[in-house]
């Protein structure tokens, strides 16, 4: 049996150490060979490497089942009492004198007088021995009696103490009963006198609120009556108009303000802001961020049509102050496809420093191609984000931040290069606005507006660099104060 048990233990140990049960040895070796990109000091959100170490999972090793079968010992034998068959021998009487009755139950024959004295003396010794044997038992019984007596006395004392505690508790209960009665009387007085007074006060407040509601309803009704009449704009439209801002400039519109343009006869005229002072004018403002008053986290259709405030009147009788707006991808595509177009991107940080980036060629395709952007011919001092990507990154991490040849993406239409079709990996959703994202950006003019410039990962909604970013000037974690994009027909300067 012991040999069989030892054999079972050896088999179990061998099975537990068998490498065939380790299903993850290959995965572990593979993980060690994966090369991760070197750590750099730049923490750019555009940095989304394509090669990453695989997440490893180490399961619990195979555990053999508990040993079953026979035990080491058999069951214990039941002990059966053995009945001793002994023959009772006849007790020898020391004083029988060799003379006995015929029956054993009658004892010995009566002795003589001398023998009687001798027998009594012997019995006296036996009685003394029994008495000496009984004395300790009597003393032990006396001690037990004393213990019982003391225990009874302690119980009596405890009983008297409990009776005293019960009496004290009775007095406490009586005191609390008196307090409860006092509280009840106070509550009854409060309910009968204070509450009605407070209710009257609240009714007065409610009546005042009702009067205010009536006044508001009257004001709303007055506003509705006024809104029935057509609204008049505070920004008069200039008489001069044209196909775009350069055409307006050549027709005499030399002031920077809001104008009406009509690129072709098949589309209705629409309002734009023309910058007629920067670099000899003719610039059509297609995007402007300056105070965060307009939310740029919009849907595809809104970016297609355009949104925001074109311009406002600052007191001179015409709208010469541009607002925050996006012209609309359909309008931008229409204007840039009319002929060679250049784009000027001007930006300012929160200290007042200004830089610009200019591209001699800028074209946005139609919606059928998801408004693919094409640029070329960079000049300026802001850094060439569209063609070179982020200069703070290297290799593939840099090329994935180039915006040239990218399609336009919004949070409800994902066209970027970051795992297409995966809703959890969308640049527009993470970076705050619609843009020509790659995977993801080196420039993010339509991102979230952070006042003050520098912001942190904790401040961002998704922990990403979702601000108004131009990485080649201020890095990923600095949101610009202003940025604008302007286009005009490209022509050789004389």
Per-residue pLDDT of the chain (494 residues; tens, 9 = 90+): 455 555 554 545 444 444 333 333 333 333 333 333 444 444 444 445 444 433 332 343 343 444 445 444 455 455 555 444 444 555 555 555 555 555 565 555 555 566 777 777 878 888 888 888 888 888 888 888 888 988 988 898 889 898 988 988 888 898 889 889 888 888 888 888 888 888 988 998 999 999 999 999 988 888 887 777 654 446 777 888 899 999 999 999 999 999 999 998 888 999 999 999 999 999 999 999 999 999 999 999 999 999 999 988 766 666 788 999 999 999 999 999 999 999 999 999 999 999 999 999 999 999 999 999 999 999 999 999 999 999 999 988 899 999 999 999 999 999 998 887 777 888 999 998 999 999 999 999 999 999 999 999 999 888 899 999 999 999 999 999 999 999 999 887 64
Cβ contacts of 288 within 8 Å, gap of 6 or more: 273, 308, 322, 323, 324, 325, 482, 483, 484, 485
138's tokens: 């009597």
Start-to-end CA span in the chain (Å): 110
Is 467 inside any structural domain? yes
Residue 197 and residue 325 in one domain: no
Cα separation values, 130 from 134, 143, 455, Å:
6, 21, 106
Cα separation values, 457 from 72, 143, 389, 454, Å:
66, 85, 21, 10
Is 378 inside any structural domain? yes
pLDDT at 288: 96
Residue 358 and residue 461 in one domain: yes
pLDDT at 31: 35
Is 61 inside any structural domain? no
Is 236 inside any structural domain? no
| Cα dihedral value 322, 327, 333, 338, nearest 10 | -40
Domain membership of residue 158 as a residue range: 147-228
Domain end among 198, 228, 258: 228
pLDDT at 60: 37
Domain end among 169, 198, 228: 228
Which of 382, 249, 258 lies closest to 310 in space, CA to CA? 258
Tell me how far apart the alpha carbons of residues 19 and 9 are, in angstroms, rounded to a whole number. 18
Tally of CB atoms within 10 A around 387: 14
Q: For residue 20, give the DSSP letter.
A: G
Which of 254, 286, 294, 282 lies closest to 270 in space, CA to CA? 286
pTM passes above 0.75: no
pLDDT at 225: 79
Tell me how far apart the alpha carbons of residues 435 and 427 are, in angstroms, rounded to a whole number. 9
CB 338 within 8 Å of CB 364: no
pLDDT at 30: 35
| Cα dihedral value 203, 204, 205, 210, nearest 10 | 90
* Cα angle for residues 215, 219, 224 (degrees, 5° grid): 145
Residue 452 and residue 416 in one domain: yes
Cα separation values, 286 from 210, 293, 296, Å:
49, 17, 14
Is 468 inside any structural domain? yes
Residue 454 and residue 310 in one domain: yes
Domain end among 228, 253, 278: 228
Residue 386 and residue 460 in one domain: yes
Tell me how far apart the alpha carbons of residues 263 and 432 are, in angstroms, rounded to a whole number. 31
Tell me how far apart the alpha carbons of residues 314 and 480 are, in angstroms, rounded to a whole number. 24
Residue 363 and residue 400 in one domain: yes
Tell me how far apart the alpha carbons of residues 104 and 108 are, in angstroms, rounded to a whole number. 8
CATH number of the domain that residue 395 is part of: 3.90.215.10
Residue 172 and residue 289 in one domain: no
Is 352 inside any structural domain? yes
389's tokens: 């990507």
Is 13 inside any structural domain? no
Residue 291 and residue 163 in one domain: no
Residue 297 and residue 442 in one domain: yes
Residue 402 and residue 347 in one domain: yes
Alpha helix segments (H runs only) across 190-309: 195-227, 245-250, 300-305
Count of structural domains, the chain: 2
Residue 275 and residue 203 in one domain: no
Residue 207 and residue 324 in one domain: no
Is 91 inside any structural domain? no
């Amino acid at each position: 049996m012991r040999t069989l048990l030892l054999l079972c233990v050896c088999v179990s140990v061998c099975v537990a150490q068998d490498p065939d049960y380790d299903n993850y040895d290959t995965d572990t070796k593979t993980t060690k060979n994966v090369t991760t990109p070197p750590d750099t000091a730049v923490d750019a959100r555009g940095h989304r490497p394509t090669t990453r170490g695989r997440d490893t999972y180490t399961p619990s090793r195979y555990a053999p089942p508990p040993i079953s079968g026979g035990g080491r010992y058999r069951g214990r034998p039941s002990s059966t009492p053995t009945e001793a068959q002994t023959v009772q021998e006849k007790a020898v009487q020391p004083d029988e004198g060799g003379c006995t009755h015929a029956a054993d139950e009658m004892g010995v024959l009566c002795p003589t007088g001398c023998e009687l004295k001798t027998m009594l003396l012997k019995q006296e010794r036996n009685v003394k021995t029994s008495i000496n044997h009984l004395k300790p038992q009597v003393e032990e019984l006396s001690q037990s009696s004393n213990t019982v007596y003391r225990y009874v006395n302690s119980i009596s004392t405890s009983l008297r103490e409990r009776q005293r505690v019960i009496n004290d508790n009775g007095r406490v209960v009586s005191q609390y009963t008196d307090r409860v009665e006092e509280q009840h009387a106070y509550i009854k007085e409060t309910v009968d006198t204070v509450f009605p007074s407070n209710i009257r006060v609240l009714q007065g407040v409610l009546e005042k609120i009702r009067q205010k509601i009536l006044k508001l309803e009257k004001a709303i009704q007055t506003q509705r009556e006024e809104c029935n009449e057509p609204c008049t704009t505070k920004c008069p439209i200039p008489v001069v108009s044209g196909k775009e801002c350069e055409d307006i400039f050549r027709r005499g519109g030399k002031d920077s303000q809001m104008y009406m343009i009509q690129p072709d006869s098949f589309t209705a005229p629409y309002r734009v802001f023309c910058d007629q002072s920067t670099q000899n004018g003719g610039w059509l403002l297609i995007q402007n961020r300056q105070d965060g008053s307009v939310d740029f986290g919009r849907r595809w259709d809104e970016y297609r049509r355009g949104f925001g405030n074109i311009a406002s009147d600052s007191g001179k009788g015409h709208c010469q102050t541009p607002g925050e707006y996006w012209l609309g991808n359909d309008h931008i595509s229409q204007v840039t496809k009319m002929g060679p177009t250049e784009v000027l991107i001007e930006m300012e940080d929160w200290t007042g420093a200004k830089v610009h980036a200019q591209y001699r060629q800028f074209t946005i395709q139609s919606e059928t191609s998801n408004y693919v952007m094409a640029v070329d011919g960079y000049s300026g001092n802001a850094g060439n984000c569209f063609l070179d990507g982020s200069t703070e990154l290297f290799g593939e991490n840099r090329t994935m931040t180039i915006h040239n040849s990218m399609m336009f993406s919004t949070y409800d239409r994902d066209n970027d290069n970051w795992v297409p079709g995966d809703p959890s990996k969308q640049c527009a959703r993470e970076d705050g606005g619609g843009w020509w994202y790659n995977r993801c950006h080196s420039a993010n003019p339509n991102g979230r507006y952070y006042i003050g410039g520098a912001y942190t990962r904790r401040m961002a909604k998704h922990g990403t660099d979702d601000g108004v970013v131009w990485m080649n000037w201020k890095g990923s974690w600095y949101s610009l104060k202003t940025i604008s994009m302007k286009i005009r027909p490209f022509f050789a300067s004389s």
